[in-house]
Structure 1
Amino acid sequence: MSELVFQDLDTYRSQLAQALAEASRSLDWLDGDLAETGAQDAANAASVRTLLASSNLARVRLLLHSDAWFWRFCPRLIELQNIYGHAFEIRLLSEADADTAERFLLTDKSVVRRFHPDAARGEASSVGRTMAVCRQQFDLLWLRAEPPSEGRRLFI
């Protein structure tokens, strides 16, 4: 994939699924709550499981505005977080960053960007410059993010 512009939710979801399937080392996902992404689908969870099982160095980082939908509708991803807790982390955007409108899934091979949460318009790209900009934005937001309101069971 070099660069593909999309205008509808179905193409957005299919590009997300393709990026998840192609990821081999890392997955950084910035979204409102994952509700419109298809993250709860079995095929997408299987792609994340494949990534996490492929290497001890693989990592998944979810950065969300709100985690309520995730805890309610993504049991497969929650199971993966319980199994691969050392490599699967969730954080919530800080209040200072709550107005961040862009959503994206960044892997080691590509990025799928949605320009605004109210429109399905965006792009899927493997261009290095686009990926670098998203990486810089994600890392900055990640540093200021907070732990989720709910979390992993400690089994105490």
Structure 2
Amino acid sequence: MERQSFPFTTKAEFLQHVSRCITRAEHKLTMFDPDFAIWELGSSATDTLLRHFLRAGGHLQLVAHDGHAVERDAPRFLRLIKDYGHLVEVRRSSQQLRQLTDSFCIADDRDIVRRFHADHFRGEAVFDGPEDTQTSSDRFITIWLESTPGLFANSTGL
């Protein structure tokens, strides 16, 4: 496949690209956002996509600074964590990482949707561009290693 790049500036475009990224994922999805408030993780459409991915044996890793928005607004996502706990790992970033403000979703180290700053919708989606995922993939590994298990009180007992 040939690399495809799509700049975006709106919430609708961001969510459309995230859905495409999840749909294309086969093995691994990694996601980072300060709070996932605008990701619509609790929508029925996202729930359907993630359940399909996880039923097929995919693995989801997610890190956020704060899980309150998801706890409050995404009960479907909390059920998904309970239903697929063996395939979903959720972490809270360490205090030292709280200054990070970017946001991204990476599928199979091949596709990426990233917002340059979590307070804005301006970003880029790249499909079939493994070289475009490298920097964010490396950052995710660092974020993951410096984060702690658990994020959502309803699902982890924190």
Same fold judged by TM-score > 0.5? Answer: yes
Distance 1:153 1:142 in 2: 17
One-letter code of the match for 2:116? F
| Cα pair distance change 1:113/1:153, threshold 3 Å | closer
Matches within 5 A, 1:29-40: 29-40=31-42
Per the alignment, residue 150 of structure 1 pairs with: 153
Distance 1:94 1:105 in 2: 19
Asked if the contact 2:105/2:112 (under 8 Å) is kept, the reply is yes
Q: Which moved more, 1:125-134 or 1:93-102?
A: 125-134
| Cα pair distance change 1:59/1:119, threshold 3 Å | same
Structure 1 residue 150, shift from structure 2 partner: 1.8
Distance 2:99 2:40 in 1: 23
Structure 1 residue 114, shift from structure 2 partner: 0.2
Q: CA RMSD in A?
A: 1.6
Per the alignment, residue 22 of structure 2 pairs with: 20
Asked if the contact 2:71/2:152 (under 8 Å) is kept, the reply is no
One-letter code of the match for 2:5? E
Gaps of 5+ in 1: none
Q: Percent identity of the aligned residues?
A: 24
TM-score, reference length from structure 1 = 0.91
TM-score, reference length from structure 2 = 0.90
Distance 2:75 2:155 in 1: 12
- 1:32-69 CA-partner distances (Å, limit 9, x unpaired): 211112222111111110011002xx211110010111
Per the alignment, residue 135 of structure 1 pairs with: 137
Per the alignment, residue 80 of structure 1 pairs with: 80
One-letter code of the match for 2:153? E
Gaps of 5+ in 2: none
Distance 2:26 2:153 in 1: 28
Matches within 5 A, 1:106-121: 106-108=106-108, 109-121=110-122
Asked if the contact 1:19/1:107 (under 8 Å) is kept, the reply is yes
Per the alignment, residue 64 of structure 2 pairs with: 64
Secondary structure, counterpart of 1:34 in structure 2: coil
Structure 1 residue 152, shift from structure 2 partner: 3.0
Distance 1:152 1:8 in 2: 31
